[in-house]
Structure 1
Amino acid sequence: MTRPLTIAICVGEASGDLLGAHLIRAIKTRRPDAEFVGIGGERMKAEGFHSLYDQEKLAVRGFVEVVRRLPEILKIRKGIIRDLTALRPDVFVGIDAPDFNLGVAEKLKKAGIPTIHYVSPSVWAWRPERVNTIVHQVNRVLCLFPMEPQLYINAGGKAEFVGHPMAQTMPLEDDKTAARAKLGINPPSALFAILPGSQIREVDSMAPVFLQTALLLLKRYPDAQFILPTATEATRQRIGEILARPEFAKLPLTLVHKQADTVCTAADVVMVTSGTATLEVALCKRPMVISYKISALTYAYVKRKVNVQHVGLPNILLEKSAVPELLQHDAVPEKLAAAVADWYDHPEKIAAVQQDFRQLHLLLKKDTAALAAQAVLEEAKAV
């Protein structure tokens, strides 16, 4: 009896689970007989995926948490390598989580199993020498950004641009009025959004700075309102603790759980911590001020290793300073307030950057899941 097409997938966190679910669905439209196994979350399980280990055990963030959980994570990695080597799937797909998945892929590739890494690490910005290692660990890399494939090709690897899933799911045209109606907000004047980050350490570093900026903006625009989407229950609690400080007692701020895309679309200008959220703001077609603050020692180390002129994804992808970046010693309320006000007071600048963001959206918008499915089936020799 012929064994059904077997595709192994491994994800480390919720974003990977979503990509994995979309990939499974796209493969099933072409190969309904395919079976899926590995490590996945609830969305993938809903598509018929069989998870051999608890995906939540891999979803750890922060140095201390990783060190504490390292023995368990290494045990899972050893187990999944053993299980998949014995099963011999037609292809292995590691989705993001490069620290975990690339080690698994390397072992499986040596055992003769084709391997794919889906979502390139930021090799164009940080430690570009990793490209030379990755091309030996996997047969193919699926990239979300258009500048990435050539880096792998130059190193003798195989890679392709499949588009960014956010650009596929988010609307090309923004609707500020509808977003405000959904949130139940109708400010008499300006509405400024604050995105301090999805991790506690980012919130601790950036939320006080952004909230102090809000106080300065309130002096300039007395009718202004502020809105802040929280990424997790933990960050919501920490932001609540910061807002309890006397200096923020009279700040007209609304907390919203998640809904970052709706919040950004509703806002006039967004203050955002550097990271993936900056791309989401751009896809909402909103002007932003990007900021970030880390320890002086870490910043000195990172500055030597970083390989790009900009830190914000919109600026990197557009290859210009489309939006201001106020980092480290520049991440102070006075400078942030001035940059936000410069957007709000100059609608012609907002119109120009919105046009840039529409072009960026079109660049990144592809049928990501279908393109990824085609690549997976090719590596599995199932097309």
Structure 2
Amino acid sequence: MAVCIAMVAGEASGDLLGCRLMAAIKRRLPDARFVGIGGPSMVREGMESWFPAERLAVNGFADALRRLPELLSIRRELLAGIKREAPDVFIGIDAPDFNLGVERRLKASGIPTVHYVSPSVWAWRGGRVNKIKRSADHVLCLFPFEPELYQRVGLPATFVGHPLADEFELEPDRQGERERLCLPRDAQIITLMPGSREGEVRKLAADFVGAAKRIHEARPDVRFLVPLVTRETRALFEHAMLAAELPADFPLKLMFGHSHEAMTASDVVLLASGTAALEAALLKRPMVIAYKIAPWSYRIIKKMMYLPYVGLPNILCKEFLVPELLQEDCEPQKLAEASLKWLDDTDGVSALTERFKSLHLSLRKDNASRAADAILGMIGGKAP
């Protein structure tokens, strides 16, 4: 009888992880069936998705509260369907607010459960480890220091590597990317990345534009790239440019997407804290990390944080390799000074590049294959 695997992925990143995991499992078990909720990539790989994955997406607390009846209805139908199928294992991919509740109920009914992508228990709210233990039989971790946190409470966990480390080349083709983007070979280029969400761009756009203006005053030859992912975030950034009264010939190019290309081509990246910081590290780019949230939220979170860093490169390397300018320090003059410092520090950039190469190798573990091995080991599947 074919192995049946139930899965839920509610975001684009989870859909990609799920698709690659399915392909790795099918290489070992070609007849395996996959059911649950998946995005378009998982469906193309053969997933029988009972609901569109986008129905799980929520934007903030207010949206989650408004859509709570719909989400609860989806969860009830999903649980009923999974119990009817009686799969060999259930895999919740990221989306902990939804998946941990599903996993807890399935685990109680005797179905083995896996949570794929550890929540950031190492950063704050460490008590979540016990909540995860009640929900999952096994956790698949993207970072090497995470399994120990679970093993302390008796929850098996496996480091499977980070998918971005598999995807990115160890030696990025910087000059080739400049040619493809029609950028001068020897120009100094700074990429501005104020975030992918509207709330982030709304908070950071004015400071980033102000920093670009001050950098331009100090170094008129520096060029700027700004990759933005939606029309809404582009409109917010354009509004900040108008408010700053940038001259018509200001050397700034707005882009739709292509953030990896822009980072690869740049000398420095000024970015909002998040996955983009890890991407910049894997692309071996010096960076300045910035972030702002509501003051009361920051005070609460700061008291709950366990680490002195917020940027993933600093967390993974356990030191302040790159500057972090948060809250009141996230202002145009300081952002400009930190960015310009990288342009003048050739030795510092070389040393940083070597550290980022070591980091890249530590995360490059053939993520999908490792995850498949861990899952099939749980259910007795044989990996070649």
TM over 0.5: yes
- Give the conservation status (yes or no) of the 8 Å contact 1:227–1:263: yes
Query: How far apart are 1:61 and its partner, in Å?
Result: 2.2
Q: Distance in 2 between matches of 1:371 and 1:252?
A: 45
- Give the Cα–Cα distance (whole angstroms) in 1 for the partners of residues 101 and 380 of structure 2: 23
Q: What residue number does 2:268 align with?
A: 269
Matched, 1:209 2:222: no
Structure 2 partner of 1:258: 257
User: Do the aligned residues in 2 keep the contact of 1:187 with 1:225 (CA within 8 Å)?
Assistant: no
Which residue does the alignment assign to 1:356? 355
Does structure 2 conserve the Cα–Cα contact (< 8 Å) formed by 1:95 and 1:117? yes
Q: Which amino acid aligns with 1:69?
A: R
1:286 and 2:285 matched: yes
C-alpha deviations, 1:116-152, integer Å up to 9, x for none?
Answer: 0000000000201100121121110000001100000
SS in 1 for 2:67: helix
Is it true that 1:22 corresponds to 2:14 in the alignment? no
User: Out of 10, 21, 31, which is 1:33 matched to?
Assistant: 31
On the 8 A contact 2:214/2:336 being kept in 1, the answer is: yes
User: How far is 1:187 from its partner?
Assistant: 6.5
1:244 Cα deviation (Å)? 3.2
Distance in 2 of aligned mates of 1:187 and 1:200: 33
Q: How does 1:80-159 map to 2 (within 5 A)?
A: 80-159=78-157
1:316-331 to 2 correspondence within 5 Å? 316-331=315-330
Aligned twin of 1:375: 374
Superposition CA RMSD, Å: 1.2
2: CA distance between counterparts of 1:269 and 1:335? Answer: 15
Q: What per-residue deviation string (whole Å, max 9, x for no partner) do you get for residues 196-243 of structure 1?
A: 001000000111101100000001111111001112333223223333
- Name the amino acid aligned to 1:60: V
Give the length in aligned residue pairs.
381
Unaligned runs of 5+ in 2: none
How much does 1:249 deviate? 4.1
Cα 1:194–1:290, aligned 2, differ >3 Å: closer, same or farther? same
How far did 1:246 drift?
A: 5.2
Identity %: 47
Deviation string 1:26-46 (CA, Å, 9 cap, x unpaired) is 000000010000000000011
- 1:188: Cα distance to partner? 5.8
Structure 1 Cα separation of the partners of residues 105 and 191 of structure 2:
45
Residues 39 and 53, structure 1, Cα contact 8 Å, conserved in 2: yes
Q: Is 254-263 or 115-124 further displaced after alignment?
A: 254-263
Q: Distance in 2 between matches of 1:82 and 1:314?
A: 42
| Contact kept in structure 2, 1:125 and 1:308, CA below 8 Å | yes
State the one-letter code of the partner of 2:368.
A
Name the CA distance, whole Å, in 2 between partners of 1:68 and 1:236: 27
Match of 1:183 in 2: 181
Residue 86 (structure 1) shift: 1.8
Determine the C-alpha separation between the residues in 1 that align with 2:288 and 2:319.
Answer: 14
Amino acid aligned to 2:110: G
What are the superposed Cα offsets for residues 250-296 of structure 1, whole Å, 9 maximum, x if unpaired? 43211111111111110011101111110001011000000111111
1:158-197 correspondence to structure 2 within 5 Å: 158-186=156-184, 189-197=187-195
CA distance, structure 1, for counterparts of residue 100 and residue 244 of structure 2: 48
Distance between the aligned counterparts of 2:235 and 2:198, measured in 1?
A: 10
Secondary structure of 1:244 counterpart: helix
Q: Which residue of 2 aligns with 1:298?
A: 297
| Matches of 1:188 and 1:364, distance apart in 2 | 31
CA distance in 2, matches of 1:319, 1:381: 37
Q: Secondary structure at the match of 1:93?
A: strand
1:180–1:266 contact (8 Å) kept in structure 2:
yes
Q: Provide the secondary structure at the position in 1 that maps to 2:17.
A: helix
Residues 193, 263 of structure 1: 8 Å contact kept: yes
Q: Which is further off, 329-338 or 232-241?
A: 232-241
Q: With structure 1 as the length reference, what TM-score do the two structures score?
A: 0.97
